[in-house]
Amino acid sequence: MSIKQASKHTGLVELNTNNIDLLNGKYQENPVRPDTTRITTLSWEIFDHGYNVDKSKGYIEFKVINCNNILVSIHDSDSIVKSRVFQGEIKDGYFQFNRKYLIIPMIFVNLFRNRIIRVGILDNNNLITDYAQLSFGTLYVIIPFLNKNNQFDVEFKKRN
């Protein structure tokens, strides 16, 4: 699984240690150009599962702690629904982090999921995301599955 096949967005402002603070801000939950074949939100891409936030008032906030740590919070109106510090690195002009999940193999269920996410900032101050995911496992011993999922250049509007 790799995110290398995603091309750089033409309006990307390349992040580095001097300008990583450009990620600070509040971003809309829904993409600028929704993909009709998939349902995606910024909270899904970052946190790997959905939250019942009011889409008209909800938003995601990024606060850069340092060049290796970013605090990401899901807000519903004025309250924080979920907040987490993500550890990653600046790579190819993006902030990139890896999310791995492992459920220890058992008789009924076992699962491994690896997701690579990278976020960048565009010259219009919107957030751009790319992710690649590989998951596999078995359910009830006899039903194995394999899932590969890529989604590149998903743009989220910065709120004022």
Tens of pLDDT, residues 139-152: 665 555 556 667 77
pLDDT of 61 = 93
For residues 158 and 121, is the Cβ–Cβ distance under 8 A?
Answer: no
Q: Which amino acid is at 117?
A: I
Q: DSSP character for 93?
A: T
| Higher pLDDT among residues 102 and 21, named by residue | 21
- 10: confidence class by pLDDT, cuts 50, 70, 90: confident
Q: Which of 32-41, 71-80, 94-103, 151-160 has the highest mean pLDDT?
A: 71-80
CA distance 106 to 65: 38
Q: DSSP character for 45?
A: H
pLDDT above 70: residue 8: yes
Could you tell me which residues are beta bridge partners of residue 110? Answer: 138
Residues of the chain with pLDDT > 70, as a percent, come to: 73
pLDDT above 70: residue 58: yes
pLDDT of 120 = 93
**Token duo for residue 4:** 């290398």
- 16: confidence class by pLDDT, cuts 50, 70, 90: very high
CA distance 154 to 62: 16
Q: 97-104 contacts: CB < 8 A, separation 24 or more?
A: 99/48, 101/48, 103/137
SS3 47: helix
Instruction: Look up the pTM and report it.
Output: 0.78
Q: Give the mean pLDDT of 64-87.
A: 90
